[in-house]
Amino acid sequence: MADLPRTGTPAPAAPGRLRKAWDSDIVWSFRHAPVAVVSLVVVTLMVLAAVFAPLIAPYDPFDPGTLNLMNGFTPPMEPNAFTGDTFWLGTDDQGRDVFSTILFGLRISLFVGFMAVALAMVLGITLGLLAGYLGGWVDTIIMRVADVQLTFPAILVAMLIFGVAKGITPPELRNEVAIWVLILAIGLSDWVQFARVVRGATLVEKSRDYVAAARLIGRGSGAIMLRHILPNVLSPVLVIATISLALAIIAEATLSFLGIGAPPTQPSLGTLIRIGQGFLFSGEWWILLFPAATLLALALAVNLLGDWLRDALNPRLR
Amino acid sequence: MTRTTGLLTATLLATTAMAPFAQAETLRWARAGDSLTLDPHAQNEGPTHTIAHQIYEPLLIRDMTGAFEPALATDWAPSPDDPNVWVFNLREGVTFHDGAAFDASDVVFSIERAQTEDSDMKELLTSIVEVRAPDPLTVEFVTDGPNPILPSNLTNLFIIDEDWARANDAVEVQDYEGGEETFAARNANGTGPYVLNSREPDVRTVMTRFEEYWGMDQFPLDVTEIVYTPIQNAATRVAALLSGEVDIIQDMPVQDLGRVAGTDGLDVRTAPQNRTIFFGMNMGAADIETDSVEGANPFADARVRQAMNMAINRDAIKQVVMRGQSQPAGMIAPPFVNGWTAELDATSTDVAAAKALMEEAGYGDGFSVQLDCPNDRYINDEGICQAVVGMMAQIGVTVNLEAMPKAQFFPLISNRTTNFYMLGWGVPTYDSEYIFNFLVHSAEGDRGSWNATGYSNPELDAMIQSLASETDLDARNDTIAAIWEVVQAETIYLPIHHQVLNWGVASNVAIEVDPEDQPKIKYIALN
């Protein structure tokens, strides 16, 4: 570098990595999208609340031994008529503190959401890469399976998987594995989108020169797919993953709302909404309203983030 | 999400809907669950009998106040010549829905059918050794010793047409537990006031008035068509009533009583029900699979059962889960029943003593076990089970709750594949013997079919069997009291409460609440 001619003005101090990141296109567009900023704040807060739920929550709603049935149906911020206890957001029909239950329910919702999307992503990317890169009968089989699965609504597929998995688990393990079964059910019902997008992008990338070059120097198919093609098809995957996260959270809530998701003694947001809707006519609105509002805020924020990400990563919209 | 939004919208719409208008003659009727089968002898279960009562008829029924009323028999009395014989005189000129004439041979056929192995009604007929038809309008029941309460065992025993059964391969009772499908389980041909028109199980059953019905002039029979729709979700069921989509609902959710009563054009009709809710435990097995204890069965220890009984706070369940709409129970017989006493029915809660008992039994660290619970059969059944989960946790028993619809739940009891379960029991005979025969007697022969506890006590069995032929009512009542003493001391069941019945009804529907929760539509007058 020393013998390069210097320009008149001294170069500014080499920008640090943070600075570079701050000035990058994507962050710039983020900084200028207030909706995205707010969404990210909401999602971050909820993730933090879920992660630290055992520290924040005043009660442990999953420990039935600590529940006092007489606390049931306490309105928000009002002392219970029998026990005199007061709860921020009131209690449900079993005397569970709604605020604590929402925090713990968020844990289930987010955990199931993230894990299910991760599963769908791994599965979808792998199959999509294989189908796109190898082509031929591999492509045909994978894509026909995907087509068949697409003809069923995802929630139906999830219910089917859930039912089968529940049938084959021994009863004493059911409550422990219920969450994993949910993840499996939602993840398996959602891989098709990833596979389709990745396959499409792979078909395009496969004919590029860099792939031909890699092939010429004798790299194996696996290495080409993983090291060369995959990084170039990731941005659409990222967008789908975000939107899938919102869908997975809603799918979990739907399954639990239908009474086939999380066990009744470990309520997730969907379970709480199911319980709460039974008490709408009788005026106990808080059991439904607060969990529903939380679910709405979470799903909306994740969706808006996904929308922004899609716009930001789309070169045509720049 | 769409499902949630849909429900929310429905709910909001319902809240703003105007007072309902009942249609002139169609009665739209909803409750939580459907009839399990149309074969009238295959399941001894409330909603199943309720539908059967519209289509079929027994020899005699209980009217809406619980009193006997003649149906296919006009009168009945013990034979003056032989104390072991009951004589029933049958009604003349009765026809089945398909036009066939009714006579004594149909009664003999039906009773014998209900005594067979697959029948769920056989416990009611244990005292009968022979049924004979001396002439086409007389039936004689020969019992094993005099049976003073025989008529009360026949109020849910429906009569089917012999020729119809033979022609349609329905001579044998449907094996409901075995999942058998038969013609008689899907079709019906009775003498009752309503004819089965169409049926889609769990969706919709339509019945129309039988214009040749023998009682056309005796009963109001204002309803010409019944549309019966099971609606499992309580909020949806109430919404349907509030919006005028149905005219009468059973299984009213207790939290909505105020709202329905306060709506113009709707009434809540209330009565104490002849039904007790309780929990049963498999104490007979050496080891059970659904618990955490290896090589032993905690339920086999009477101290564990007692501790669990003491840990249940029945007043809290009444106060919060039932909103005051129940009567805490210390025994599994409702107050209607001969043998009930206030002392046995008293309840108490003592968690500290319960913990001490658990310690004494060697389960101081507790254990975990699965509880099977229906979610569409009894009032707030799942809520009660959840509350009990919490109460059990206080004495170290970790309960894994499995809540399911009754169509999946009841086979667990019939097949003995549950070790801890909820059950509700009504007593149509108004006598303790009925409870003992089904729930206390060892499950063998023609008794004990609903006793999934594995409890078996030959001495007690002998006492129960003696009830059927004991003619001295005082001696019989003494035996009943002695049996109850054992049942209570052994804590065979964990009683929760006696149900209170609430029906939500459009004001123009004149009907009294029946203590067995079985509305008989022929009594309904429409104003």
| Segment B34-48 mean pLDDT | 94
Measured between CB atoms, does B325 come within 8 Å of chain A?
Answer: no
A292 chain-B contacts, CB cut-off 8 A: 4
Report B:269-298 residues touching A (Cβ under 8 A): 289-292
pLDDT at residue B2 greater than cutoff 60? no
A73 chain-B contacts, CB cut-off 8 A: 320
Mean pLDDT, chain B, rounded, equals 91
Name residue B267's beta-bridge partners. B505
Closest residue by Cα to residue B332 from B287, B279, B293, B296: B279
Name the pairing type of β-strands B225-230 and B26-31: parallel
pLDDT at residue A8 greater than cutoff 70? no
Measured between CB atoms, does B313 come within 8 Å of chain A?
Answer: yes
Domain A29-62+90-317 listed as CATH 1.10.3720.10: yes
| Segment B74-83 mean pLDDT | 92
HEC-encoded secondary structure of A266-303 = CCCHHHHHHHHHCCCCCCCCHHHHHHHHHHHHHHHHHH
Of residues B290, B292, B320, nearest to A70 (C-beta): B320
pLDDT at residue B297 greater than cutoff 90? yes
Of residues B255, B316, B402, nearest to A70 (C-beta): B316
**Rounded to an integer, what distance in angstroms lies between the CA atom of residue A131 and that of residue B110?**
66
Would you say residue B461 lies in a domain?
A: yes
ipTM for the whole complex = 0.73
Cβ–Cβ of A281/B289 closer than 8 Å?
no
* CA distance, residue A84 to nearest chain B CA (Å): 15
Cβ–Cβ of B242/A281 closer than 8 Å?
yes
Mean pLDDT, chain A, rounded, equals 86
pLDDT at residue A158 greater than cutoff 90? no
**Rounded to an integer, what distance in angstroms lies between the CA atom of residue B473 and that of residue B479?**
10
Give residue A12's pLDDT: 54
**Rounded to an integer, what distance in angstroms lies between the CA atom of residue B233 and that of residue B8?**
13
Structural domain for B287, as ranges: 272-500
**Rounded to an integer, what distance in angstroms lies between the CA atom of residue B149 and that of residue B272?**
23
| Segment B412-416 mean pLDDT | 91
| Segment A96-120 mean pLDDT | 92
Of residues B4, B238, B320, nearest to A281 (C-beta): B238
Give residue A155's pLDDT: 83
> Contact at 8 Å (CB) between B85 and B219?
no
Measured between CB atoms, does A278 come within 8 Å of chain B?
Answer: yes
**Rounded to an integer, what distance in angstroms lies between the CA atom of residue B418 and that of residue B410?**
10
Would you say residue B142 lies in a domain?
A: no
Quickly state the pLDDT bin for A1 (edges 50, 70, 90).
very low
Would you say residue B87 lies in a domain?
A: no
| Segment B491-500 mean pLDDT | 96
Report A:69-88 residues touching B (Cβ under 8 A): 69-70, 72-73, 82
> Contact at 8 Å (CB) between B372 and B412?
yes
Cβ neighbors of A72 (< 8 A, separation 6 or more) are: A91, A92, A93, A94, A95, B320, B321
Of residues B256, B394, B400, nearest to A282 (C-beta): B256
If residue B196 lies in a helix (H) or strand (E), which one and from where to where? strand B194-200
Cβ–Cβ of B386/A264 closer than 8 Å?
yes
pLDDT at residue B20 greater than cutoff 70? no
A281 chain-B contacts, CB cut-off 8 A: 11, 15, 235, 238-239, 242, 255-256, 259
pLDDT at residue A315 greater than cutoff 50? yes
Which of A20-59 are b and which e, b meaning 16 or more Cβ less than 10 Å from the residue's Cβ?
Answer: eeeeeeeeebbeebeebeebbebbeebeebbeebeeebeb
B392 chain-A contacts, CB cut-off 8 A: 64
**Rounded to an integer, what distance in angstroms lies between the CA atom of residue A264 and that of residue B383?**
10
Give residue A171's pLDDT: 64
* CA distance, residue B287 to nearest chain A CA (Å): 14
Number of structural domains in chain B: 1
Would you say residue B252 lies in a domain?
A: no
- Select the residue from A63, A247, A281 to test the B interface by mutation, using most B Cβ atoms within 10 A: A281
Give the whole-number percent of chain B exceeding pLDDT 90: 77
* CA distance, residue A148 to nearest chain B CA (Å): 23
pLDDT one-digit tens code per residue, B163-213: 999 999 999 999 998 889 999 999 999 999 999 999 999 999 999 999 999
Would you say residue B47 lies in a domain?
A: no
pLDDT at residue B19 greater than cutoff 70? no
pLDDT at residue B65 greater than cutoff 80? no
Give residue B406's pLDDT: 85
> Contact at 8 Å (CB) between A223 and A135?
no
CATH of the domain at B456: 3.10.105.10
Closest residue by Cα to residue A250 from B181, B224, B5, B280: B5
Give residue A10's pLDDT: 52
Give residue A27's pLDDT: 84
* CA distance, residue B279 to nearest chain A CA (Å): 18
pLDDT at residue A136 greater than cutoff 60? yes
Give residue B149's pLDDT: 85
Please name the residue that has the structure tokens 């983030």.
A305
Classify residue A311 by burial, with Cβ atoms within 10 Å: 0-12, 13-18, 19+: middle
DSSP B374: E
Quickly state the pLDDT bin for B96 (edges 50, 70, 90).
very high
Give residue B292's pLDDT: 86
Would you say residue B489 lies in a domain?
A: yes
